């Protein structure tokens, strides 16, 4: 969310390799800018691994002592020579080689990535490839490299692993949970991480009622129909058929209007008691303001849990639960709030200088040196993936639509659509109802390169159709040379608070919501893939003049 530290590093002499289809501020100041085709980050990482391994640029000592499966990885990356990767990514071969050498020879070097990595069905494999990059170059858990983050004082507000849930509630509880848990039967990684349901499979089960019907929805400050859900029409049709829907929000959004049987007021940040962790900081806050009879998401979840399974919730108040989760830090919720937070000491395993913890036995529950994996090493060849029937090595998979995977669609829709980019004016679908912000950014737009716009016969300020295989939406055209010539970039989250809030208008979302062009159900074999927000194919053409 904040790039200030990158600017500080640049002032100290850090060099940047920026991988971005857009010529961003950082790209303009980079030593090397790689204008990648979206959805091909995994291929680029494998191409860089090919260069680093074949040119013996890796950290031999670290690889031999602290990694598992190097020989298998070496064999896999032979499938990704730079020339082939260039064809996949649209990045010149010489730049791929240069980037690999720059990164491998940097001491230290770090890889900072963002949400677009997740926007691919096989995002897990892409992340695996990135892990391999910083592992074989010895850039793991060192100053200036990629550190393995741990929450401050070891405090997490929610169990991260199935093992921790078992410690809290027992194995029988977890087994019963997974019998009901949506998506756990299809995706073993989902089954063994936290206790969430998988969103795509929740929608499928709403529609099918299999293996059991979903009868209601409690939605807390989520305007999914305007901003965050792919295929919002499909969501709308499924959710409105449920027996009972409750929406909690601070504003009457199109989602609240469309699906809610009851709308309740949500709490703002100033009203709720909360605990949060960030980096080395552990903090708590009491809500200084109370307006009406509102409840936070924490309050609702806590009270519902007490009613549904009182034996599993022995605490009388939410603050008592917070204190229980704060136990590793040796502090109560009240003490932490009164103290305005705590900084983790530098010598603490999760502290401000958490370097080379794998050498000190600070990463494993048994206190032995190594990493928290079955082999005790960084698994270039993942034994867990193999156990779950997944590819144990990183690989590249083409997006659901692309010039390579669907060439027949690409002929009809020759532009790659990118959405989900951060916006300095709004956050997802928030703040469209604030007049002075609308003065800065008043209409939903799409960006094209000026040469692309000229070829299509459309002009700056003109209203255009963005059309894909699932439909079309309206946007106002902006032209900018920072966008790739074969891509279109458009922000998400748009709705018109000034338009009618009732169906069928619903604040104009059906005219402008770009997510209507993006499908559900592409979470990959692991279940942790993301929606194809950056890779759907489209075409753009002029429409009649619209007021």
User: By three-state DSSP, how is residue 393 classified?
Assistant: coil
Task: Give the residue-averaged pLDDT of 317-344.
Answer: 93
DSSP for 142-206 reads STTSB-----GGG--SS--BHHHHHHHH-HHHHHHHHHHSTTTTT-HHHHTBTTPPPHHHHHHHH
Q: What is d(CA 79, CA 72) in angstroms, rounded to the nearest whole number?
A: 12
Structure tokens at 67: 């990694």
Residue where the block lists tokens 């969430």: 196
Dihedral sign for Cα atoms in the order 268, 271, 272, 276:
positive
CA 135 to chain centre: 22
Structure tokens at 373: 């994996």
Q: What is d(CA 221, CA 20) in angstroms, rounded to the nearest whole number?
A: 31
For residue 18, the model assigns a pLDDT of 98
Task: Give the residue-averaged pLDDT of 351-361.
Answer: 81
Q: What is d(CA 166, CA 191) in angstroms, rounded to the nearest whole number?
A: 13
pTM: 0.94
Q: What is the pLDDT of residues 25-35, one digit of tens each?
A: 999 999 999 99
Q: What is d(CA 428, CA 450) in angstroms, rounded to the nearest whole number?
A: 27
Q: What is d(CA 474, CA 337) in angstroms, rounded to the nearest whole number?
A: 48
Q: What is d(CA 366, CA 368) in angstroms, rounded to the nearest whole number?
A: 6
Of 246-260, 280-294, 469-483, the range with the lowest mean pLDDT is: 280-294
Q: What is d(CA 339, CA 430) in angstroms, rounded to the nearest whole number?
A: 32
Cis link prior to 161 (omega < 30° from 0)?
no
Give CATH 3.40.50.740 domain extents, the chain.
152-214+267-343
CA 58 to chain centre: 29
For residue 459, the model assigns a pLDDT of 96
Q: Structurally, what CATH architecture does the domain formed by 4-148+354-387 represent?
A: 3-Layer(aba) Sandwich (3.40)
349: pLDDT confidence band, cut at 50, 70 and 90? confident
For residue 292, the model assigns a pLDDT of 86
Q: How many CA atoms lie within 13 A of 90 on its CB side?
A: 17
Q: Taking a C-beta distance cutoff of 8 angstroms, is the pair 157, 167 a contact?
A: no
352: pLDDT confidence band, cut at 50, 70 and 90? low
Of 149-158, 178-187, 293-302, 390-399, the range with the lowest mean pLDDT is: 149-158
Give CATH 2.40.40.20 domain extents, the chain.
407-542
CA 532 to chain centre: 12
Does the structure show a pLDDT above 90 at 457?
yes
For residue 330, the model assigns a pLDDT of 94
Task: Give the residue-averaged pLDDT of 320-328.
Answer: 93
Orientation angle between helical segments 171-180 and 162-169, nearest 10 degrees: 120
% residues pLDDT > 90 (the chain): 73
For residue 353, the model assigns a pLDDT of 65
Task: Give the residue-averaged pLDDT of 352-367.
Answer: 85
For residue 493, the model assigns a pLDDT of 95
Give CATH 3.40.228.10 domain extents, the chain.
4-148+354-387
Tabulate helix, strand, coil % of the chain (nearest 5).
35, 15, 50
CATH of domain 407-542: 2.40.40.20
What is the four-CA torsion angle of 8, 11, 14, 18, rounded to 10 degrees? 70
DSSP for 33-60 reads EE-PPTT-HHHHHHHHHHHHHHTT-S-H
Does the structure show a pLDDT above 70 at 396?
yes
Strand ranges across the sheet with 216-220: 216-220, 244-249, 262-265
Task: Give the residue-averaged pLDDT of 196-215.
Answer: 92
- The 10 Å CB-count burial string (b at 16+, else e) for 189-207 is bbbbbebeebbbbbbbbbe
Task: Give the residue-averaged pLDDT of 490-502.
Answer: 95
198: pLDDT confidence band, cut at 50, 70 and 90? confident
Q: Taking a C-beta distance cutoff of 8 angstroms, is the pair 46, 85 a contact?
A: yes
Task: State the DSSP H helix or E strand holding residue 477, giving kind and residue range, or none if neither.
Answer: strand 471-479
Q: Of 257, 260, 256, give the one whose Cα is nearest residue 246.
A: 260
Task: State the DSSP H helix or E strand holding residue 245, giving kind and residue range, or none if neither.
Answer: strand 244-249
pLDDT, mean over the chain? 93
Q: What is the pLDDT of residues 262-282, one digit of tens each?
A: 999 999 889 999 998 877 889
Q: What is the pLDDT of residues 499-541, one digit of tens each?
A: 999 999 999 999 999 999 999 988 889 888 889 999 999 999 9
Which residues lie below 8 Å from residue 121, measured CB to CB, with a gap of 6+?
397, 399, 400, 522, 523, 524, 529, 530, 532
- The domain 152-214+267-343 is placed in CATH, from the list 3.30.429.10, 3.40.630.30, 2.30.42.10, 3.40.50.740, at 3.40.50.740
Task: Give the residue-averaged pLDDT of 288-311.
Answer: 90
């Amino acid at each position: 969310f904040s790039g200030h530290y990158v600017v500080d590093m640049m002032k100290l002499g850090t060099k940047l390799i920026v991988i971005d289809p857009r010529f961003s501020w950082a790209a303009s100041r980079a030593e090397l800018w790689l204008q990648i085709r979206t959805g091909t980050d995994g291929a680029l990482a494998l191409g860089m691994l090919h260069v680093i391994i074949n040119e013996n640029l890796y950290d031999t000592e670290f690889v031999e002592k602290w990694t598992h499966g190097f020989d298998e990885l070496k064999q896999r990356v032979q499938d990704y020579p730079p020339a082939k990767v260039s064809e996949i990514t649209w990045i010149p071969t010489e730049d791929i080689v240069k980037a690999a050498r720059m990164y491998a020879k940097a001491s230290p070097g770090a890889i900072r990535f963002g949400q677009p990595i997740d926007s691919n069905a096989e995002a897990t494999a892409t992340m695996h490839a990135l892990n391999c990059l910083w592992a074989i170059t010895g850039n793991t858990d060192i100053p200036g490299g990629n550190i393995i983050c741990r929450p401050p004082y070891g405090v997490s507000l929610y169990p991260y692993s199935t093992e921790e849930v078992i410690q809290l509630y027992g194995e029988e509880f977890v087994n019963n949970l997974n019998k009901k848990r949506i998506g756990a039967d299809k995706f073993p990684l989902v089954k063994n991480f936290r206790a969430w349901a998988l969103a795509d499979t929740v929608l499928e089960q709403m529609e099918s009622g299999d293996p059991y019907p979903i009868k209601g929805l409690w939605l807390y400050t989520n305007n999914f129909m305007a901003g965050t859900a792919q295929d919002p029409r499909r969501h709308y049709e499924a959710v409105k058929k449920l027996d009972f829907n409750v929406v909690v929000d601070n504003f009457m959004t199109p989602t609240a209007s469309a699906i809610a049987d009851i709308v309740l007021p949500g709490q703002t940040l100033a009203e709720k008691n909360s605990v949060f962790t960030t980096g080395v900081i552990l903090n708590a806050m009491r809500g200084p303001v109370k307006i009406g009879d509102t409840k936070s998401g924490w309050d609702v979840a806590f009270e519902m849990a007490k009613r549904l399974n009182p034996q599993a919730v022995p605490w009388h108040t939410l603050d008592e639960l917070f204190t229980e989760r704060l136990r590793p830090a040796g502090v109560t919720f009240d003490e932490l709030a009164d103290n305005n937070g705590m900084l983790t000491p530098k010598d603490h395993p999760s502290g401000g200088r958490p370097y080379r913890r794998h050498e000190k036995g600070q990463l494993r529950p048994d206190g032995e040196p190594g990493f928290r994996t079955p082999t005790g090493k960084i698994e270039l060849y993942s034994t867990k993936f193999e156990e779950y029937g997944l590819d144990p090595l990183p690989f590249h998979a083409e997006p659901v639509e692309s010039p390579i995977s669907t060439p027949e669609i690409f002929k009809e829709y020759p532009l790659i659509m990118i959405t989900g980019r951060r916006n300095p004016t709004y956050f997802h679908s928030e703040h469209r109802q604030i007049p002075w912000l609308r003065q800065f950014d008043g209409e939903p737009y799409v960006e094209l390169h000026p040469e692309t716009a000229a070829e299509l016969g459309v002009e700056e300020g003109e209203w255009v159709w963005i059309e894909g295989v699932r439909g079309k939406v309206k946007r106002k055209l902006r032209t900018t040379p920072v966008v790739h010539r074969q891509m279109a970039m458009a922000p998400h989250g748009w709705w018109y608070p000034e338009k009618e809030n009732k169906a069928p208008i619903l604040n104009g979302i059906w005219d402008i919501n770009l997510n209507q062009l993006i499908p559900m159900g592409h979470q990959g074999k692991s279940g942790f893939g993301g929606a194809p927000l950056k890779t759907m194919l489209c075409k753009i053409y002029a429409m009649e003049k619209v007021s």
